[in-house]
């Protein structure tokens, strides 16, 4: 079958699936999982020249990777734990991500309000160390500021007992937008990446070594097999499902922890500088981060028994965030003020037993290689996605005795690369694509289907044709961030989104109605009654 261009693969899913299923060529590396980790591995492998395929059972970043605190950071709390190595690694990666995706990653000033003299000394020294560890890739210097300056820069913060603040710099980004851009980058660099294709089993050779996968197109039900030299399990909270395919009865490798965020209007914290509370009753850091003209407040740390694609925020988590935020804000948020609440799951590495050999690359992520040569990666975080990809491909090369190829992602520009973004532009997150989108608006640039969320009809068809969006949820949750920013407003515009998508995808009105029904059902979980 004729090879497709990168644009054909992205714009014509039917042809792309046909090409993939008809190909008799085997891959060198197949990655299962289209979150931050899987995308990072697939891009690293592709950039080195390996024939690479990434398969995602739902949408790219459907799970944990679209539900972060929206920070690219070295990890102040890891520094408090004494893990200098991890902070150094994350600080370097933060700098590289800022360099490679400047349309999505920006310098964000944070302020830690201090209410005791001891805290002012402790956080000033600690954050100076944070700067020093980052070295040349740091985003700015930390400094102690007076009470007067703290209040001026943080309107809405509680003034009673305030001694001042410590200002420092970290990164902020749009997580699902980065995921989409990474998928585009994989394809544009010669690799393959497709959503809504679920791996249902592993294939093995006569020696019992993994040599491929059996996959199902969740849109059509069609199944097909792909042969490969290496399979990577990068499925986050679902890694144990894949490990069970490899060896039924395997020990659990992860425990799952849930983090919840709420989204508020800026009136509760009308500052461009993020608030960081280093120690809460929950034991985690609490952030209030300006994002897309709203404020994201979180997060929690709650053990969860079972992983799911759509986790539910618990009442105790919501109450904790509201109470903790209320202790530091003059205007205390109530349940009725919450525009959206979203939950994400963290895969935390558990101790290993049995035949699986575990190598701890760092405390941020672990690589496990089973006796059948299934490569599994656990843990990690968005900031270090590129390093995780590099570590995994290095490990594959070593374990399978391949000739080492030098990694090529440290200076690889991500799709949409554009410097000097206007962060007030409602289309900023498209980077270099924003110009093309505006051209397609045909003079209707200010005709929004949602004035509040600044969403335009052209963005919907663009998401289908250029960003592999397949459902209303894909568009409202991850191609734009409407669901996370205002769940009720997202429901209001869902019918119009469905109508435009149906036309672009060649679907009928029954599909439209079903998509609206499914989206409204999902959005109920994001709304506090």
Query: pLDDT tens-digit profile of 188-213?
Result: 999 999 999 999 999 999 999 999 99
Query: pLDDT tens-digit profile of 302-319?
Result: 888 888 989 999 999 999
In a domain, 412, yes or no: no
pLDDT of residue 360: 30
Instruction: Report the CATH number at residue 384.
Output: 3.50.50.60
Q: Looking at 23-83, list the stretches that DSSP marks H as alpha helix, in order from N- to C-terminal side.
A: 36-47, 76-80
Q: Is the peptide bond before 299 cis (omega within 30 degrees of 0)?
A: yes
pLDDT of residue 165: 93
Q: How far is CA 372 from CA 225, 355, 505, in A?
A: 18, 10, 41
Alpha-carbon distance 134 to 459, whole Å? 37
Band (359; pLDDT cuts 50, 70, 90): very low
| Domain shared by 36 and 97, yes or no | no
Query: pLDDT tens-digit profile of 256-311?
Result: 889 999 999 999 999 999 998 877 776 778 899 999 999 999 988 888 888 898 99
In a domain, 386, yes or no: yes
Residues 96-123 have a mean pLDDT of 92
Proportion of the chain above pLDDT 70, given as a percent: 94
Return the SS3 of 385. helix
Proportion of the chain above pLDDT 90, given as a percent: 75
Q: Which residues contact 171 (CB under 8 A, 6 or more apart)?
A: 71, 72, 73, 94, 97, 98, 105, 106, 107, 108, 139, 383
- In order, the DSSP letters of 237-253 are GGHHHHHHHHSTTPPP-
| Domain shared by 212 and 315, yes or no | no
CA 387, 389, 390, 392 dihedral sign is positive
| Domain shared by 59 and 192, yes or no | yes
Query: pLDDT tens-digit profile of 40-97?
Result: 999 999 999 999 999 999 999 999 999 999 999 877 666 666 666 777 888 889 999 9
Return the SS3 of 482. helix
CB 110 within 8 A of CB 72: no
Instruction: Report the CATH number at residue 440.
Output: 1.10.8
pLDDT of residue 78: 63
| Domain shared by 365 and 487, yes or no | no
pLDDT of residue 307: 87
Residue 109: strand pairing partners: 169
Global model pTM greater than 0.75: yes
| Domain shared by 132 and 268, yes or no | yes
| Domain shared by 202 and 342, yes or no | no
| Domain shared by 13 and 41, yes or no | yes
Q: At what angle do helices 457-466 and 487-505 cross, to 10 degrees?
A: 60
CB 384 within 8 A of CB 93: yes
Residue 354 clears pLDDT 90, i.e. is over it: no
How many independent structural domains does the chain possess?
A: 3
| Domain shared by 87 and 152, yes or no | yes
pLDDT of residue 280: 79
Q: Strand pairing of 365-369 and 374-379? A: antiparallel
Last residue of a domain, one of 307, 332, 347: 347
| Domain shared by 267 and 148, yes or no | yes
Q: How far is CA 515 from CA 351, 473, 499, 521, in A?
A: 42, 8, 10, 10
In a domain, 410, yes or no: no
For 501, the domain range is 428-526
pLDDT of residue 341: 98
| Domain shared by 80 and 162, yes or no | yes
- From the list 392, 397, 362, 357, the residue with the least C-alpha distance to 380 is 362
- From the list 88, 67, 108, 100, the residue with the least C-alpha distance to 275 is 108
CA Rg value for the chain? 23
| Domain shared by 245 and 274, yes or no | no
Q: Looking at 267-372, list the stretches that DSSP marks H as alpha helix, in order from N- to C-terminal side.
A: 315-326
pLDDT of residue 363: 45
Residue 467 clears pLDDT 70, i.e. is over it: yes
Q: What is the mean pLDDT of the chain?
A: 91
Name which residue leads in pLDDT, 84 or 388: 388
Q: Which residue has the tokens 């039900």?
A: 221
Band (347; pLDDT cuts 50, 70, 90): confident
**Weakest-pLDDT range from 99-103, 130-134, 326-330:** 130-134
Tokens of 376: 């599994």
């Amino acid at each position: 079958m004729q090879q497709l261009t990168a644009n054909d693969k992205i714009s014509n899913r039917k042809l792309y699936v046909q090409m993939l299923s008809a190909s008799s060529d085997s891959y060198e590396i197949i990655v299962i999982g289209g979150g931050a980790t899987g995308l990072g591995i697939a891009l690293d492998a592709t950039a080195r020249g390996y024939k690479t395929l990434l398969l995602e059972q739902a949408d790219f970043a459907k799970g944990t990777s679209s539900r972060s605190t929206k920070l690219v950071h070295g990890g102040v709390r890891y520094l408090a734990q004494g893990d200098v190595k991890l902070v150094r690694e994350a600080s370097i990666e933060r700098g590289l991500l800022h360099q490679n995706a400047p349309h999505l990653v920006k310098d964000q000033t944070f302020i830690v309000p201090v209410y005791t003299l001891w805290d002012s000394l402790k956080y000033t020294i600690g954050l100076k160390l944070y700067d020093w560890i980052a070295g040349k890739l740091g985003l700015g210097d930390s400094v102690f500021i007076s009470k007067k300056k703290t209040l001026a820069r943080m309107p809405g913060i509680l003034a009673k007992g305030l001694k001042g603040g410590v200002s420092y710099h970290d990164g902020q980004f749009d997580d699902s937008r980065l995921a989409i851009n990474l998928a585009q980058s994989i394809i544009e660099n010669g690799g393959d990446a497709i959503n809504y294709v679920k791996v249902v089993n592993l294939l093995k050779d006569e020696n019992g070594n993994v040599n491929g996968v059996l996959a199902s197109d969740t849109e059509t039900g069609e199944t097909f097999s792909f042969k490969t030299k290496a399979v990577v399990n990068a499925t986050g909270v679902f890694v144990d499902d894949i490990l069970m395919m490899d060896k039924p009865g395997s020990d659990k490798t992860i425990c799952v922890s849930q983090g919840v965020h709420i989204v508020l209007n800026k009136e509760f914290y009308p500052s461009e500088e993020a608030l960081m509370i280093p120690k809460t009753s929950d034991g985690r850091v609490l952030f209030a981060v300006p994002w897309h003209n709203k404020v994201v407040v979180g997060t929690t740390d709650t053990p969860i028994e079972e992983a799911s694609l759509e986790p539910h925020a618990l009442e105790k988590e919501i109450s904790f965030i509201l109470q903790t935020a209320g202790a530091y804000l003059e205007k205390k948020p109530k349940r009725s003020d919450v525009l959206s609440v979203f939950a994400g799951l963290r895969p935390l590495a558990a101790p290993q037993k049995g035949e699986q050999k575990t190598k701890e690359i760092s405390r941020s992520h672990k690589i496990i290689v089973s006796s059948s040569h299934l490569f599994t990666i656990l843990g990690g975080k968005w900031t270090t996605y590129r390093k995780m990809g590099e570590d995994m491909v290095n490990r594959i090369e070593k374990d399978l005795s391949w000739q080492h190829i030098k990694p090529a992602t440290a200076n690889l520009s991500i799709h949409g690369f554009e410097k000097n973004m206007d962060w007030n532009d409602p289309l900023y997150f498209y980077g270099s694509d924003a110009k093309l989108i505006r051209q397609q608006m045909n003079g209707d640039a200010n005709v929004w289907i949602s004035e509040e969320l600044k969403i335009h009809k052209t963005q919907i068809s663009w998401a289908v044709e250029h960003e592999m969006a397949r459902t209303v949820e894909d568009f409202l949750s991850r191609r734009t961030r409407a669901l996370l920013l205002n769940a009720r407003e997202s429901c209001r515009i869902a019918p119009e989104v469905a109508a435009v998508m149906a036309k672009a995808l060649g679907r009928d009105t029954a599909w439209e109605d079903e998509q609206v029904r499914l989206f409204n059902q999902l959005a109920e979980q994001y709304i506090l009654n």
